Amino acid sequence: MKRIICDSYEDMSRVAADIVEAQIACKPDSVLGLATGSTPLGLYEELVRRHRESGLNFSKVRSFNLDEYYPIGKDHPQSYNYYMNSNLFSKINIAAAYLPDGEADDPMSECKNYDAKIEEAGGIDLQVLGIGVNGHIGFNEPSVSYTITTHLTQLTESTLTANSRNFTDGEAQPETALTMGFGAIFGAKSILLLISGGNKAEVAKKLFDGKIHTDIPAALLHLHPDVTVILDKEAAGGISNLMIENAN
Ligand code: F6R
């Protein structure tokens, strides 16, 4: 697992954009796995900027998002569909972009179809991940066992509390979500995990303490052969100089 510590959130976002750009340069028809939340907003802003100013071309790129609340309408301002359209898809020339359908009548068959679509696309080339304060990736919450396929999951109190900041008072917050499982995430050829902010310092520390904590889903990423973790200074607990090292 390669670890990059950046001085700022902006630097972290630029380094992440460099990796995404290099992926598209090497393979113009890349399949990207994408995350939502506050962490990748800077990355998406930088990708949009490079698309507009330097012609970064997404015309052959396809993407699959990690997760979507369930149930939620596509046009709901807190849906991940809405987030992705407003922050990225409407601003670039991406060939096709998929998210689990938060309005599906039959969530189980939606999950199966989603995995089938990922497989048909040849799997994910580069998976972008954020991390929950409890160590979740996608909405794979801490547990004694982890689900391989895309599935409907119950969000934990920790996640509901962390994400309640996005819902206004009185607005119903879904307590369940559709999420990619470990199969599609670990099937990705390479993985880019972004960790930002002081509230992630504790989980980041545990991620790099030399143990695989099975109650931190992200810690299992140590078992994947190609993972890059980019942290900003706050998440890294105050280490300020840009340093690249092999954390294993
Ligand atoms: C979102 C996702 C989640 C977030 C995580 C961190 O698609 O998969 O795992 O990456 O909850 O969210 P932020 O970045 O808002 O702290």
- Domain count for the chain, please give it: 1
First to last CA, the chain: 6
Collapsing DSSP to helix, strand or coil, 65 comes out as strand
For ligand 1, atom 13, which residue shows the shortest CA distance? 37
Residues 133 and 21: their CA atoms lie apart, in Å, by 28
Question: Does the Cβ of 38 fall within 6 Å of ligand 1?
Answer: yes
Supply the range of the domain harboring residue 160.
6-207+214-242
- List, in sequence order, every residue forming a beta bridge with 137; answer none if it has no partner: 140
Task: Look up the pTM and report it.
Answer: 0.96
In a domain, 247, yes or no: no
In a domain, 1, yes or no: no
- Return the best residue to mutate from 13, 36, 163 for the ligand 1 pocket (most ligand atoms within 8 A of CB): 36
Task: Give the CATH number for residue 171.
Answer: 3.40.50.1360
Give the model's pLDDT for residue 39: 98
Give the model's pLDDT for residue 170: 83
Ramachandran area for residue 55 (φ above 0: left; ψ -120 to 50: alpha; else beta): left
Among candidate residues 234, 235, 233, the one with its CA nearest the CA of residue 218: 235
In a domain, 150, yes or no: yes
Closest ligand 1 atom, residue 65 Cα = 7
In a domain, 248, yes or no: no
- Return the best residue to mutate from 65, 139, 195, 200 for the ligand 1 pocket (most ligand atoms within 8 A of CB): 139
In a domain, 16, yes or no: yes
Give the model's pLDDT for residue 62: 98
Residues of the chain with pLDDT under 70: 238-248
In a domain, 30, yes or no: yes
Q: What's the DSSP call for residue 92?
A: S
Closest ligand 1 atom, residue 163 Cα = 15
Give the model's pLDDT for residue 169: 82
